[in-house]
């Protein structure tokens, strides 16, 4: 499948190219040219399934031509090797627990998937640039630790992340480097985007992103919406804590692919 820049649809890339580039040359985000629709019986199956069973069918159309189904299943079984239980809090209200991964962040799913994909599709050494306000950096540091041919540089705003998150970022070592920036998260993100568009820097040291601008970071998060629907056995209203809306975008993608849903609530701090 081809992926186009949302700012200029004439800029097209394969899945592998879009993942490695992270951001389109015009600063646009890559998005799939087509969204396949899966039948309702897939989402509400009565079979005994695992999260990766959903992931293979949901992501295979996008990775086609770059990663075959067998390899995709292998990746997803490694990525989703922790529970994603749906717990009832009170009558009719449930919580999908996404904190059972290595850093207790929902972003463990996307970061781990991206690291495994990049290690398979890239034939040259890459540097991953990441701006973080906390949990992204922790998940990326853990997800990419010891991954061959990939270095990670994490930018985080001074004094604006928790002590635990800072410890997770700065103590990984090996191929992970964390840089404390005197500024805001938005300034960190601007620095990352500017670096991506520096052609001389890209030529000297190929760069990619692990922020939610990367399709291989946010798209696999659609899997746990499908997994929640399967566990519940009926359409749900998803209330999603939202920052830059990458997580809820994954849920909307699942809905566009045919997942039965009763609605979405974007819960913000604003």
Summarised one tens digit per residue, pLDDT across range 17-27 is 999 988 899 98
Question: What percent of the chain shows pLDDT beyond 90?
Answer: 76
CATH of the domain at 162: 3.40.50.1100
Is this structure's pTM higher than 0.75? yes
pLDDT value for 44: 94
With respect to residue 46, please indicate whether it lies within any of the assigned structural domains: no
Q: How many domains does the chain have?
A: 1
With respect to residue 164, please indicate whether it lies within any of the assigned structural domains: yes
| Separation between Cα atoms, residue 181 and residue 145, nearest integer Å | 22
Question: What percent of the chain shows pLDDT beyond 70?
Answer: 100
| Separation between Cα atoms, residue 1 and residue 229, nearest integer Å | 26
Q: What residues make up the domain containing 151?
A: 108-213
Rounded to a whole number of angstroms, the CA Rg of the chain reads 18
Here the tokens at position 189 are 């993100």
pLDDT value for 270: 65
With respect to residue 222, please indicate whether it lies within any of the assigned structural domains: no
With respect to residue 172, please indicate whether it lies within any of the assigned structural domains: yes
Enclosing H/E stretch for 196: helix 185-196
| Separation between Cα atoms, residue 246 and residue 18, nearest integer Å | 17
Q: What is the mean pLDDT of each run of 10 residues along the chain (270 residues)?
A: 97 96 91 96 93 98 96 97 97 97 94 94 89 87 91 94 89 92 93 88 87 92 98 97 91 98 91
| Separation between Cα atoms, residue 96 and residue 106, nearest integer Å | 10
With respect to residue 186, please indicate whether it lies within any of the assigned structural domains: yes
With respect to residue 153, please indicate whether it lies within any of the assigned structural domains: yes
- Residues 38 and 53: beta-carbon distance below 8 Å: no
| Separation between Cα atoms, residue 264 and residue 98, nearest integer Å | 18
With respect to residue 158, please indicate whether it lies within any of the assigned structural domains: yes
Return all residues near 61 (Cβ < 8 A) that are at least 6 apart: 1, 34, 36
DSSP letter at 7 equals S
With respect to residue 47, please indicate whether it lies within any of the assigned structural domains: no
pLDDT digit string (tens) for 131-186?
998 788 889 999 999 998 899 999 999 999 999 889 988 998 899 999 999 999 99
Using a 10 angstrom Cβ sphere, with 0-12 exposed, 13-18 middle and 19 or more buried, the burial of residue 11 is: middle
Catalytic positions, written as ranges: 107
């Amino acid at each position: 499948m081809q992926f186009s820049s949302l700012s200029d649809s004439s800029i097209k890339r394969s899945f592998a190219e879009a993942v490695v580039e992270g951001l389109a040359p015009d600063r646009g985000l890559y998005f799939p040219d087509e969204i396949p629709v899966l039948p309702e019986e897939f989402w509400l199956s009565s079979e005994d399934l695992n999260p990766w069973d959903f992931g293979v069918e949901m992501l295979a159309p996008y990775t086609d031509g770059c990663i075959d189904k067998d390899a995709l299943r292998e990746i997803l079984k490694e990525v989703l090797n922790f529970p994603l239980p749906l717990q009832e809090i009170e009558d009719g209200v449930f919580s999908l627990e996404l904190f059972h991964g290595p850093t207790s962040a929902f972003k463990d799913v996307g970061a781990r998937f991206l690291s495994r994909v990049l290690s398979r599709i890239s034939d040259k050494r890459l540097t991953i640039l990441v701006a973080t306000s906390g949990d992204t950096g922790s998940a990326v540091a853990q997800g990419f630790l010891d991954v061959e041919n990939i270095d990670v540089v994490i930018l985080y705003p001074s004094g604006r992340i928790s002590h635990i998150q800072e410890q997770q970022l700065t103590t990984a070592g090996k191929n992970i480097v964390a840089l404390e920036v005197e500024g805001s998260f938005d300034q960190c993100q601007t620095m990352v985007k500017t670096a991506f568009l520096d052609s001389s820097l890209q030529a000297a040291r190929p760069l990619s992103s692990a922020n939610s601008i990367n399709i291989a970071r946010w798209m696999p998060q659609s899997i746990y919406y499908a997994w929640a629907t399967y566990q519940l056995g009926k359409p749900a209203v998803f209330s999603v804590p939202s920052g830059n809306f990458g997580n809820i975008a994954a849920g909307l993608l699942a809905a566009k692919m045919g997942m039965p849903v009763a609605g979405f609530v974007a819960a913000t701090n604003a």
